[in-house]
């Protein structure tokens, strides 16, 4: 059985990572007990394919810098996420029930498959949003046969046309991007609001008082 080290990438922090930090991450692969014997290094979910592929390039560079060998895996979303924050698509206003306008086309999948392969990744798949036809597109891009055999009799048989097309959403006045609200979308009850600072004694007392008042009702 293969041991897999899956790294959830943080998009906004990618440019902040120095090469040495990825080198250190790579060293973890051979550091027991957490990742001892890891054979696959990859990223999974939360961001679109090209963001994940670019992150894998950095991880691959770090692994090689550490003098290690590993297989590489990428399993991105099937949604466009250029406007999301560091937490990924979970903070988009459309998450989770209105993400369909962001879904990738077959041609986006062809590009993703080719770029991932060129980057040296051989475990190429998908996570949230992927449908069977997306996986089929990945296989078609990397198969041994000739491309586009199904379009031989089509009036738009040129591959360049499909690769350059910018699909319209068909939704009048729809925005091209969203403004993520961070935890604002998923915070729920005010008592559950998360923040960066440590919980204060005052906040703990308030929670205990609320709990006590509810238990006496």
Annotated binding site for Zn(2+): 45, 127-128
Instruction: Give the contacts of 115 (CB within 8 A, at least 6 positions apart).
Output: 49, 50, 53
Residue 197 in domain: no
- Which CATH number goes with the domain that contains 168? 3.20.20.330
- In this predicted model, what pLDDT tens digit does every residue of 98-131 receive, in sequence order? 999 999 999 999 999 999 999 999 999 999 999 9
Residue 40 forms beta bridges with which residues? 4, 71
Inside any domain, residue 204: no
In a domain, residue 208? The reply is no
Residues belonging to the binding site are 45, 127-128
Please state the domain count of the chain.
1
Instruction: Report yes or no on 39 lying in a domain.
Output: yes
Say if 216 falls within a structural domain: no
16-55 pLDDT, tens per residue? 333 345 554 555 555 544 444 678 888 999 999 999 999 9
Query: CB–CB of 137/78 below 8 Å?
Result: no
Virtual torsion, Cα 54, 58, 64, 70, nearest 10 deg: -60
pTM of the model: 0.65
Domain assignment of residue 116, yes or no = yes
Contact 103, 79 (CB under 8 A): yes
pLDDT tens figures, 168-198: 888 788 888 887 766 555 555 666 666 667 7
Residue 139 belongs to what domain range? 4-180
């Amino acid at each position: 059985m293969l041991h897999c080290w899956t790294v959830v990438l943080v998009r906004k922090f990618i440019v902040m990572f120095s090469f040495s930090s990825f080198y250190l991450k790579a060293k973890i692969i051979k550091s027991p007990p957490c990742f001892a014997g890891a054979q696959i290094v990859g990223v999974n979910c939360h961001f679109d394919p090209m963001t994940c592929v670019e992150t894998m390039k950095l991880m691959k560079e770090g692994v090689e810098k550490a003098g290690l060998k590993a297989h590489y895996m990428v399993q991105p979303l099937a949604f466009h996420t250029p406007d999301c924050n560091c937490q990924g698509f979970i903070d988009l206003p459309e998450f989770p029930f209105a993400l369909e306008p962001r879904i990738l086309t077959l041609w986006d999948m062809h590009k993703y498959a080719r770029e991932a392969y060129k980057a040296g990744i051989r475990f190429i798949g998908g996570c949230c949003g992927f449908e069977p036809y997306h996986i089929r597109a990945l296989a078609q891009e990397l198969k041994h046969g000739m491309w586009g055999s199904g379009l031989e009799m089509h009036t738009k048989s040129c591959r360049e046309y499909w690769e350059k097309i910018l699909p319209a959403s068909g939704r009048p006045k729809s925005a091209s991007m969203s403004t993520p609200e961070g935890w604002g979308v998923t915070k729920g009850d005010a008592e559950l609001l998360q923040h960066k600072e440590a919980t204060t004694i005052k906040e703990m007392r308030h929670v205990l008082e609320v709990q006590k008042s509810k238990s006496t009702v």
